[in-house]
Amino acid sequence: MSYSVPTSHHLHPGYGHELTRDWQTVNTKFDKSTFVYPIFVVDEDGQKNEIKSMPEQYQWSVDRLDELLEPLVKKGLKSVILFGVITKKERKDGNATWADHEQGPVVRAIKKIRATYPQVFVSCDVCLCQFTNHGHCGVFGKAEGADLDNAASVQRLAEVAGNYALAGAHMVAPSDMMDGRIGAIKNRLREIGKLRECPVMAYSAKFASCMYGPFRDAAHSTPGFGDRRSYQLPVGANGLAVRALLRDAEEGADFIMVKPGGPYLDIIKEARDRLHVPISVYQVSGEYAMIWHAAAAGAFDLKRAVYESITCLRRAGADIIISYYTPKLLDWLDE
């Protein structure tokens, strides 16, 4: 028995030509300005250290950043986000002193990049985990056995964010997930006269994901005890994610973030539908590694897989994408 397709159900005419296919996907297009490249900066000079769990990614010392950045800037790199890495254990303490130390990797890297590559937009991750001797994202109370002190943590995070802004960061991006830190950071930026020139990108819907494993290798930020499930979001928590997104926007976040990316497309879509601020998405280290190793094993073509993953993030609503594939994307976008 034949079936007569109603005229309104004929979809093929709408994407039968290359140009009409482009018109159907205009909201998923991306270019070099879409991407932010994460850089791990270490506290000792003369370093280019392979990150074994992240193929073709390295820790860099400030004095060797030109080796990384000069060719990428020539290819059109627009933006980076900096993560400090402390290699000397004696520099880690309970107050994350080296997070914003004048001789610390982040402050030095900000000044180096701003002076050498003024066209590059410099963002700084704001967290304490890689700078503390316990590996958690905040400050603990002083009493024996005390839990994280949210108020003290927020105060320290605001201080760090302010010092990054004073060093020249174009944007600060708190990733700690403490309650109220966006409002506190905004207040601190106002106090130091940086509110207008230094926006805040909030890691708002950051889930307690297993996909951060390679990052923790790279940043030396694995918790010394316990885990981060009491302050990062449960992986199935749709409602909490929406509340966190709305809260950070209400506190003044100029940009919000969903992290990880691919497994949380529904949360990106929720953010797109509910908020009127640009949405960033972090395609995290585990996502990078999974795509890389699957392609290396012959499961699919690397470029096609990366493009598909980026297209899906854009389709869900991402405006800005933080990705370790940025160097490859700079090349592929020129092909």
CA gap 246, 160 in Å, rounded? 24
CA gap 297, 252 in Å, rounded? 45
**Which residue type occupies 143?**
A
Strand segments, DSSP code E, in 97-206 are 121-126, 171-174, 201-206
Helix 150-167 × helix 105-116 angle, to 10°? 30
Known catalytic residue: 206? yes
Catalytic residue among 78, 186, 194, 206: 206
Judge contact between 246 and 178, C-beta under 8 A.
no
Helix 265-274 × helix 238-250 angle, to 10°? 40
Judge contact between 205 and 271, C-beta under 8 A.
yes
Structure tokens at 167: 């060093």
Judge contact between 264 and 316, C-beta under 8 A.
no
Catalytic residue among 92, 112, 194, 259: 259
Known catalytic residue: 74? no
Widest pairwise Cα distance in the chain: 79
- Residues annotated as catalytic (active site), given as ranges: 206, 259
